[in-house]
Amino acid sequence: MRALLLWAWLAAGTDARRLAAKKKKVKKKEKPTCVDATCRTEHDGAYYHKIKCLAELAPVILEAQDGDRRVCADDWLLPALEIFAPGLDAFSDNCAACARPAPAAPAAAAAALAALQRRARLPAAKAADVVLVARRDKSHCWSRTCGARRFPAGRRFTKGAQRALVAALAPLGSVRVFWGENETLAETVRLFEGARVVVGYHGAGFANALFQRAAPACAVEIVAAYDDGRPWRTNEELVRFNANLKWRTVRLGLAEMLAANQNEKRPAAERYPLVKGVSDANRWLKAVAWVDLNATDVARVAAAAAACGGLPRGKSERTMKAGSGD
């Protein structure tokens, strides 16, 4: 009798262990409690690429905030998350342990960025109808091998061109020149949020057009053009991430760009790399010191801004033309 009881006890124990092992095998794998919001594209850390990456990751950030999930992000993104996703639990270590969502379509990214911007902690700031993106005279190294040789910061409007632009854009409403030097990210977002029109020469500052929330919103990008009419570069791709944004380019000829920069104290090969025998046009245009505009150029910029940004209430096309100086 005792033998039978012992055998039954052992059999029951074995069955219990088998059942436990079976349950362990079929147990579902737990989902990660965090999401990977690191930038998917390689870049050099430049401002333009950071802001574009923020837009691309907006759906991931928004879903994590709504779902009360942790977010693993690049170090540079953490301060931005404090602005756009208040209260989000974010960190920057061991992102490999987090779920990696599939890339979102640009339209979804645009909607998510707008939603995050509505939640953002932004300071009060004086609004401007038109923001003119400009650069100051800051020295930088024209190439990685220039050593102690340093040249003026590139792509600056001449004083005459900047004054003419401000005057020509004034009929559109209040104009503010944006240098992008001392403003925080939150202050920058607030400024561009209310701007109907953003104007400037091609550069990273146009990334802030993603924050424009006026309807319609307009960006007028001044850029050098090759002899066949192709623009040197353009940031027009940003319209994919802002449903309200319209983009216009005003192109300057190479001869005009050369004329504005022919007095720089550089060797001829560096000063005139676009002439016969020198091929690195892209490199020169990226670092060109001055951008000058004649009266026709200024009028073209003002007309493009009025056409796609809309005139303020009470203004007319006639008033606009009078303000442009033509």
For residue 312, what pLDDT is reported?
Answer: 64
Residue 81's nearest CA partner among 110, 108, 103, 113 is 113
Cis peptide before 216 (omega within 30 of 0): yes
- The whole-number average pLDDT for the span 233-241 is 96
The answer to whether 62 touches 81, Cβ cutoff 8 Å, is no
For 150-182, the pLDDT digits (tens) are 444 689 999 999 999 999 999 999 999 999 878
The CATH number of 130-142+151-324 is: 3.40.50
**pLDDT surpasses 90 at 107:** yes
For 131-145, the pLDDT digits (tens) are 999 987 654 333 333
The answer to whether 255 touches 285, Cβ cutoff 8 Å, is no
For 184-203, the pLDDT digits (tens) are 999 999 999 999 999 999 99
Give ranges for CATH 3.40.50 in the chain: 130-142+151-324
Residue 103's nearest CA partner among 140, 133, 60 is 60
d(CA 316, CA 74): 48
Total-model pTM: 0.80
For 252-275, the pLDDT digits (tens) are 988 788 778 765 555 555 555 444
